[in-house]
Amino acid sequence: MKTIIILLLKLQAKLEKRNRMVDVFGTFSNAQAMLILMPDILEDFGIARKFIRTLTESFSTAKLHFVMRSSFKSLLDSNLNYGTIFVADRDENYIGLPKKNLKQRILATKFDIAIDLNNDFHLLSTYLCKISGAKLRICFDNSDREPFYNFYFRSQTHKNLEDKYKRFIQYLCACVNPEKANS
């Protein structure tokens, strides 16, 4: 059943896809709100959370909203200033799509950028990114994600997952502040 839902969502996304150009650097520099979908796998989350401070500092003019499992709450640094949308099992239906309450929490903010930090295709995160309304939707390169995102990061040189996240975050930070990246 889940496979059929994914195929239908992909078909819908391809049919809806507009050939809309996105000014990547302009979107980064003018972003007021960003949705960051943290990894759903605990090990990946543990690695990705090391870069939350870098993201909050690099995108200091934007309001960042992190989406993560409520069971990961104790792993957060409470000293950082960002919004958090916690997702519990009760927020998803039986096939892994968000229920009305979770959709409303995402739709309550007008996002300029959505970044999915899941290493592989994750149905809930992909769907939340899709409905976020963000002009720029970013993920790691993966053919299953192609219809839902418009900016993909691929790195052939990463040694491990931490290195992959590090390079990804460095790239995002360079997009928001190219002068700093060249120094």
Taking the C-alpha atoms of residue 34 and residue 141, their distance in angstroms, rounded to an integer, is 20
The tally of domains found in the chain comes to 1
- Residue 138's domain is classified under what CATH number? 3.40.50.2000
DSSP-assigned beta bridge partners for residue 68:
86
Please tell me the predicted confidence (pLDDT) of residue 170.
85
Asked if residue 17 is part of any domain, the answer here is: no
**pTM for the whole structure:** 0.84
Asked if residue 21 is part of any domain, the answer here is: no
Query: Could you list the residue range(s) of the whole structural domain that residue 144 is in?
Result: 2-10+30-182
For residues 22 and 135, is the Cβ–Cβ distance under 8 A? yes
Asked if residue 79 is part of any domain, the answer here is: yes
The mean pLDDT of the chain is 84
Asked if residue 175 is part of any domain, the answer here is: yes
Question: Residue 104 above 90 pLDDT?
Answer: yes
Taking the C-alpha atoms of residue 150 and residue 22, their distance in angstroms, rounded to an integer, is 9
For residues 67 and 125, is the Cβ–Cβ distance under 8 A? yes
For residues 116 and 126, is the Cβ–Cβ distance under 8 A? yes
Ordered DSSP codes for 65-114: EEEEEGGGGGGS-TTS--EEEEE-GGGB-TTSPBPHHHHHHHHTS--SEE
What value does the mean pLDDT take over residues 61-72? 92
**Residues of the chain above pLDDT 70, percent:** 86
How many H helices and E strands in the chain? 8, 6
Please tell me the predicted confidence (pLDDT) of residue 13.
67
